[in-house]
Amino acid sequence: MIKSCYVHIPFCKKICSYCDFCKLIYHKKFINSYLDALEKEIDSKYQGEVLDTLYIGGGTPTCLSYEELERLLKILSKLKLSKDIEYTIEGNVDSITIEKLELLKTYGINRLSIGVETTNLRFLQLLNRTLDQEKCRTLVDYARSIGIHNINFDLIYAIPGENIDDLEKDLDFILSLFPEHISTYSLIIEENTILGIKDTKNISEELDYEMYLSICKRLKENGYIHYEISNFSKPGYESKHNLCYWKNGEYYGFGLGSSSYIHKKRITNTRSITRYKEGIVLAEEELSLDDEIEYEVILGLRLLKGIDLRLFEEKYHHSLSYYYDVDQLIEEGYLQLNNHYLSIPEDKIYVSNEILVKILQNRK
């Protein structure tokens, strides 16, 4: 049963130097025709399910004008939402306004995900971003005052030239605003980005690891639960939407380049705006049982709590150890059993990819 939905708004006012996402420079003339295509896609695919999570991501959804944002929210009001919906929109400080916050509140948005990334002027320039800290503070206070109480901040670390002190300053700022949720990203420079083209080098693995440990320590000291490799929340504020992905649940993905997981099929929309407007899907992959189980393991072990083995058995009619030989990895301390959960110990979660390779090689 589908209970989650992602909607992609690919437009940004400028392009960050590390950006590898599906995005386009905002031009007023593109927006209405994009929203027409989005509405058409929703009308043709949505089957009337009541959603527990709705996530408007991008791009920068808040870079739409007030009127464009209102049109988007009207289109999305066709979707049926449960009483305790987690309804998120991503945005950046530049493009959020008091008026837009009020509009978002009117349409039921109750979670705001703000791309803070860094507070350091030098690194903001390197990333081709800006951050007005005072405006950020005002927007967060205002959002809370009108009832948008669930705030996420995105933080980027491992920026070339960054050291632990720089990172601590970013954390000082973020923690001073008491967000309910913090998502962290280690900057990986991809070839086809501005930084990649300029041949900018990643920081060393040792420093990256040191920064990761500093983040975990500092956020835990401040009452955050480290619940997924890169995500932290106050108790009860784990991202329900992302938990749907990590628990291998089904979801709709509407918009340019977005993916859906529906009835054992992974469907990916085209990244070409012209083709998207023609209703073209890029790929449709029917998952075999093996694929499904592999996704379940790869995604589930991102969570510190791990995979619920009882649910796994209910879903796949056999225990996980019927499919994978994990005993040796448990003995070696790469995996642990806690009640009926199988997880990667927290001190090894940083190298989870290497552990996943070992697990997948142990397919029976």
Q: Which residues bind ligand SF4 (CB under 6 A)?
A: 12, 15-16, 19, 21, 23, 58-60, 115
Residue positions counted in the chain: 364
Q: Which two tokens stand for residue 322?
A: 């019927």
CA distance 318 to 312: 8
Least gap, CB of 18 to ligand SF4 (angstroms):
7
CA distance 38 to 255: 6
Least gap, CB of 12 to ligand SF4 (angstroms):
3
Q: How far is CA 267 from the centre of its chain?
A: 18
Least gap, CB of 171 to ligand SF4 (angstroms):
20
Candidates 328, 88, 13, 350; CA nearest to 207 is 350
Least gap, CB of 7 to ligand SF4 (angstroms):
14
Least gap, CB of 224 to ligand SF4 (angstroms):
23
Cβ distance to ligand SF4 smaller for residue 154 or 180:
154
CA distance 145 to 336: 43
Cβ distance to ligand SF4 smaller for residue 256 or 355:
256
Look at the block and give the residue holding tokens 């927290």: 346
Burial 202-219 (b: 16+ CB within 10 A, else e): ebeeebbebbbeebbebb
Cβ distance to ligand SF4 smaller for residue 23 or 111:
23
CA distance 73 to 105: 11
Q: CA distances (Å), 58 to each of 281, 305, 350, in order?
A: 18, 28, 27
CB 254 within 8 A of CB 19: no
Least gap, CB of 11 to ligand SF4 (angstroms):
8
Cβ distance to ligand SF4 smaller for residue 259 or 321:
259
Cβ distance to ligand SF4 smaller for residue 15 or 273:
15
Q: CA distances (Å), 95 to each of 7, 26, 135, 325, in order?
A: 18, 12, 11, 50
Cβ distance to ligand SF4 smaller for residue 63 or 101:
63
Least gap, CB of 323 to ligand SF4 (angstroms):
37
Bridge partners (DSSP) of residue 156 are 185
Cβ distance to ligand SF4 smaller for residue 60 or 231:
60
